[in-house]
Structure 1
Amino acid sequence: MNLPASGLAKPRPPTATSIPAILKSLQDEWDAVMLHSFTLRQQLQTARQELSHALYQHDAACRVIARLTKEVTAAREALATLKPQAGLTASAASYAQQGYEQAAPAAAGDEGLVLQEVGMSEDVTAKIQAKADSLTADRKRRGKTIPEGLASADDISQYRQLASHTVFTVLVFLACLPFDLQLSDTSKVVTGGADKNAVVFNKETEQVIAVLKGHTKKVTSVIYHPSEELVFSASPDASIRVWGVQQAQCGQIIRTHEGPVTGLSLHATGDYLLSSSTDGFWAFSDIQTGKVLMRVAAGEGGNSAATCAQFHPDGLIFGTGTADSLIKIWDLKERQNVANFPGHSGPISAIAFSENGFYLATAADDAVVKLWDLRRLSNFKTITLDNNYEVKSLRFDHSGTYLAVAGTDVRVYLCKKWTELKVLNDHTAQATGVAFGSNASFLASTSMDRSLKFFGFDR
């Protein structure tokens, strides 16, 4: 509004002072406001449409990127397993020349080969027997003295959490729920999880060394080779994979089971694997060639699902757990069931042989841990746990002095006296795997809370 020099508003002309003129002025102002509001609404609608279109394009771009990433990952995995598969095919051809037959794949599109049982040769038998004799003699010498540097019972009772790692969820892109854990002598830990991957972790550097991808279902059993950079993994996808850690590639796929693989154990020679499955069979395989040496029904008629398997330290016998609450001891060379241990209720969840060669620890869905004397074939001790306690893993230390129990929590017991030394409640969910470090200087455990924890004591 233009103001005169005096600062007062100009008077309206006489024609604008009448009521009709005032009404017309108000009407014009109202029309101008409505027109401006209409224009703003049109602009808002246009902006909304443009934003919606941009969001749609962004979502489409994200979908394309995700699809391409998935295709690239699949191509890399196919490339990683291409050479090993070619090696398997060559091996199969070699077996055919020697009179072995190749069985049909377990299912259309499956990777790897399923080889029929070819039997255990005299050379394999002699190697196994020689290794057992050597280990037995060595055990008798070691059994007379306590290992130098072994943690004492007081040290174990002072275990506390030293480190906790949850980085796996980032590195493997999916939530990793470890089901099993193995510890090597070089402080390397391998875990298997529900994300279908196995992860190798270095305790000293606190770094992930390798992420092993290839299984199509969760990884439930893993083993780190004691002298080579090899990892073995098993899964409900009915396959066993042999991985090279340095290349993070699968070098061998063993398919001998028709159902989920529930147990995995490495023979003392380091050359053979024992596996169990819900298909009711256990198998003994050569890890170098993928050749299945033996495949035997774990129960009557092969109807009893095998839930776990573990070699005796000497490697001449081994134990399997079954879904019908029975522990079976087998003679490897004779492939015969030589002893049965009844007494649990529910499927057997874990078994572990002591390095002293005399004790066997077993657990099932009955909240107890049973100790068996292999010399007398009898149960000499039963550790009763809390009500509804679920045991998922049992592990003796290498000296056979301590027993670790993982489940609702993590517990450590002193062998022979079978007294409880320590209860560790640091996990916020069920513990699924446990392993001792060298001389029981530390303890590692995995859990459904997606963490790998290390426990130790102050020296």
Structure 2
Amino acid sequence: MYCAISGEVPQQPVVSRKTGHLFERRLIEKALQASENRCPVTGEELKPEDLLPVACDLAQRPRPLSATSLPAMLAMFQNEWDDLVVESHATRKQLHATRRELSHALYQHDAACRVIARLTKERDDALALARSGQGVVVTQQVDQAALEQAYACLQDYWKATSKTRKKRKAPAQLASASQIKTWSPQKPAKVLGSASGLAHDVKSGSTLVWGPQGIAYCSSAKKPLVVDKPTSGACFLPQGLLTCGDNITIYSSSMEEQGTIQGTYQSVDAHNTGKYAVALKATGAWSLISLEAKTVLAESSVDPGDAATSSIKFHPDGMIVAAAISTNGAHRVKVWEVKDQKPVHAFDGHSAPISSVAFSENGYHLASCDEGGTVKLWDLRKLKELKSFQVDGAGASVAFDSSGKYLVVSTTTNVVVREVKPWSDLVSVETSSIGACFLTDAQGVVAVDGGGGLVSIGK
């Protein structure tokens, strides 16, 4: 008789009254406990009460042949001792190898700690040097607290200005449509060897002209201040100006360098608080920058095939930004939220690369022009095209005046001033221009040609 589980002669045999199988008592009890009272052979329900003991003489297991004599037992003990010695040697060898690996890992950890400490010290020294305005800050990641602080600042500005700005009335000294119709150009004044962009500050009356040969800061009371540094974009700050190119540079009003931030960008625009800025790369990605800490806080993602074709602009509320992006032949104006750097809308409709975008002061409209001479106005509340018209030449730039009543478009052949509500042209001046901006209260327009000549258009 053999156990149905082990296949050996059982020492304490029991038989199942349900299935008739013979088992070793200790084995079947463990099997029933593990299988929740199921027969290990048939799978049927089987309880310990269903097992009947079998009365039989206990079998005496024969002694193995290797233990039947003293010489055989000595040989068996010797073999066991040899196995124990071999196993002990293997264990000591493995222990020695483990100790060497642990020692090497501890050495690598110590070296890594020293490198981290050195890099941390270099970072802290660079930040301290940059905050003093004497060095270059390497772009780096900052903690979430810095981002939250930036968003809180932008939101506070939005809450404080959005309602009052939208209800603001046009100033009494704003130029009328009849006055604008009498405008004519003055003789150009050469300020740079070549130019690619223009910005005007209506508060100070100053103008920036930039291009591959440098940037010129023009004030009515001073001779233009020129810095021979290739510049691809610039904007005014409350107390100075901001430029971009091979890196982002902060200047004072006297064109003294206040600090730089590494990174190649083609356009930059500052928030009205003067604490933050956005900078656009050729790939279509843009960065949120802290001007006080002189560091990049966050950067937007890029879709495959994207390429930026215009400058980037802050909305007057400061909570969204817009720029023109071309993707595999499709030309659109994309709008992102500053808070999470995610696109919220894209305006389609241009058939040529878009060269410029601009927000109206009340925040309701967005204007764009392309190289084919098409100018479009977009309604930001209804997210649709509001108006489209054609101008002569390739569109280079578009800008609203501070009241949002007038729009100026510069092209390769002329500068056109258009009244927004009646959608009618007021004046068209034949002059090649790559950028144009309104003066204070729309009392004139300042434009620049590709040769760096600054032209005033007015009475």
TM-score interval, normalised by the smaller of the two chains: 0.5 to 0.7
**Equivalent residues of 2:316, 2:363 under 8 A apart:** yes
State the distance in 2 between where 1:88 and 1:222 align: 28
How many Å apart are 1:148 and its aligned residue?
1.8
State the distance in 2 between where 1:129 and 1:94 align: 30
Which one of the candidate residues 157, 170, 178 is aligned to 1:154?
A: 178
Which one of the candidate residues 339, 348, 358 is aligned to 2:354?
A: 348
Matched with 2:373 is 367
Deviations along 1:330-370, whole A, 9 cap, x unmatched?
11113221111111123221000000111000122232001
Matched with 2:233 is 221
State the distance in 2 between where 1:357 and 1:268 align: 14
Deviations along 1:364-418, whole A, 9 cap, x unmatched?
22320011000110002101123xx211111100100100111221110101221
Matched with 1:441 is 443
- Which consecutive residues of structure 2, in runs of 5 or more, have no partner in the other structure? 1-121
User: Helix, strand or coil for the counterpart of 1:323?
Assistant: strand
Q: Percent identity over the alignment? A: 26
Matched with 1:116 is 141
State the distance in 2 between where 1:344 and 1:88 align: 45
User: Helix, strand or coil for the counterpart of 2:273?
Assistant: coil
Matched with 1:256 is 263
Q: Output aligned runs, 1:227-376, within 5 Å.
A: 227-228=238-239, 230-235=240-245, 237=246, 239-246=247-254, 248-257=255-264, 261-297=265-301, 299-301=302-304, 303-307=305-309, 308-324=311-327, 325-376=331-382
- Which consecutive residues of structure 1, in runs of 5 or more, have no partner in the other structure? 1-86, 96-109, 170-174
State the distance in 2 between where 1:290 and 1:93 align: 11
How many Å apart are 1:245 and its aligned residue?
2.5
Which one of the candidate residues 156, 165, 168 is aligned to 1:139?
A: 165
Deviations along 1:412-455, whole A, 9 cap, x unmatched?
01012211111111x3xx31111111100121011013310111
Which has the larger displacement, 280-289 or 111-120?
111-120
**Equivalent residues of 1:210, 1:245 under 8 A apart:** no
How many Å apart are 1:112 and its aligned residue?
4.9
**Equivalent residues of 1:181, 1:221 under 8 A apart:** no
Q: Output aligned runs, 1:74-93, within 5 Å.
A: 90=125, 92=127
1:212 pairs with 2:227: yes
Q: What is the TM-score with the length of structure 2 in the denominator?
A: 0.67
State the distance in 2 between where 1:129 and 1:370 align: 29
State the distance in 1 between where 2:284 and 2:381 align: 27
Matched with 2:421 is 416
State the distance in 2 between where 1:161 and 1:355 align: 26
**Equivalent residues of 2:236, 2:270 under 8 A apart:** no
**Equivalent residues of 1:180, 1:220 under 8 A apart:** no
Q: What is the TM-score with the length of structure 1 in the denominator?
A: 0.67
Matched with 2:219 is 202
Matched with 1:455 is 457
1:424–1:383 CA distance, 2 compared to 1 (3 A): same
Higher CA-based Rg: 2
**Equivalent residues of 1:117, 1:295 under 8 A apart:** no
**Equivalent residues of 2:373, 2:411 under 8 A apart:** no
State the distance in 2 between where 1:266 and 1:328 align: 18
1:146–1:179 CA distance, 2 compared to 1 (3 A): closer
Deviations along 1:15-56, whole A, 9 cap, x unmatched?
xxxxxxxxxxxxxxxxxxxxxxxxxxxxxxxxxxxxxxxxxx
State the distance in 2 between where 1:198 and 1:94 align: 26
State the distance in 2 between where 1:88 and 1:456 align: 52
State the distance in 1 between where 2:217 and 2:129 align: 33
1:384 pairs with 2:384: no
**Equivalent residues of 2:200, 2:439 under 8 A apart:** no
User: Helix, strand or coil for the counterpart of 1:129?
Assistant: helix
State the distance in 1 between where 2:312 and 2:291 align: 17
State the distance in 1 between where 2:123 and 2:322 align: 30
How many Å apart are 1:328 and its aligned residue?
0.9
State the distance in 2 between where 1:271 and 1:437 align: 25
How many Å apart are 1:319 and its aligned residue?
0.8
1:165 pairs with 2:173: no
**Equivalent residues of 1:323, 1:346 under 8 A apart:** no
**Equivalent residues of 1:181, 1:446 under 8 A apart:** no
**Equivalent residues of 2:138, 2:295 under 8 A apart:** no
State the distance in 1 between where 2:166 and 2:351 align: 35
**Equivalent residues of 1:358, 1:375 under 8 A apart:** yes
Which amino acid is the alignment partner of residue 188 of structure 1? S
Q: Output aligned runs, 1:10-21, within 5 Å.
A: none
State the distance in 1 between where 2:410 and 2:429 align: 10
Which has the larger displacement, 287-296 or 179-188?
179-188
State the distance in 1 between where 2:451 and 2:147 align: 45
State the distance in 1 between where 2:365 and 2:136 align: 39
Which amino acid is the alignment partner of residue 233 of structure 1? T
State the distance in 2 between where 1:121 and 1:399 align: 32
**Equivalent residues of 2:126, 2:136 under 8 A apart:** no
State the distance in 2 between where 1:348 and 1:262 align: 15
Matched with 2:204 is 186
Matched with 2:24 is none
Which amino acid is the alignment partner of residue 299 of structure 2? R
**Equivalent residues of 1:181, 1:445 under 8 A apart:** no
CA RMSD of superposed structures (Å)? 2.4
Deviations along 1:148-189, whole A, 9 cap, x unmatched?
2100011111111245311x35xxxxx233533333422111
**Equivalent residues of 2:376, 2:387 under 8 A apart:** yes
Segments of 4+ moved more than 6 angstroms: none
1:141–1:380 CA distance, 2 compared to 1 (3 A): closer
